[in-house]
Amino acid sequence: MVISLFSLMLFFAVPRFQFDVLSDHSKKTSRWIMLQVHALKEKSVHDQKRYVLHLSLDSNRLWVTNEIMSPEELEVAAANGYELSDDIKLLDVEYPGQEKISVGRADIYFYKKGYSDKAIIHMSNNDNEIFSFLIEPFLSRVRLYNKYIEFED
């Protein structure tokens, strides 16, 4: 009886455990982006500095700089940036009325008055799930979509 109950518990628990483990990197990266954008909007007003969220589409890395950093500090910030796990890929960054950036570096600016550039960050994982992060200029929250969206949508 005990063995059969234990088997039933494992039967239902193991698939859930695998799902949580597989999607953990996507969740972690999503939370990082959403919290970072919110914090940068607040920090730019509080510090009265322009901040920049840099996204390297080639090296799959994100980092933050501000307008008064020295060249050495800029290099350190880039080297110590948030590196995405191997199963997460930055696809592109889209700005309204401009070409998508799918190679090189994309920059999203956060201004002293509390607004930012309008942009969509597209990301995928090894399960072929695509995530779109819509950054609105005057809203502090980032909208997360579990599909590929564009400004024309």
Number of other CB atoms surrounding residue 136 within 10 Å = 15
CATH topology for 2-145 is: minor pseudopilin epsh fold (3.55.40)
For residue 58, the 8-state DSSP code is T
User: Which residues lie below 8 Å from residue 25, measured CB to CB, with a gap of 6+?
Assistant: 84, 85, 87, 88, 125
Mean pLDDT value across the chain: 88
What pLDDT, on a 0 to 100 scale, did the predictor assign at position 22? 42
The pair of structure tokens assigned to 95 is 């700005």
What pLDDT, on a 0 to 100 scale, did the predictor assign at position 24? 73
The pair of structure tokens assigned to 116 is 């930012």
Query: pLDDT tens digits for 13-56?
Result: 655 544 444 457 788 999 999 999 999 999 999 999 999 999 99
- The band of 112, judged by pLDDT with boundaries at 50, 70 and 90, is very high
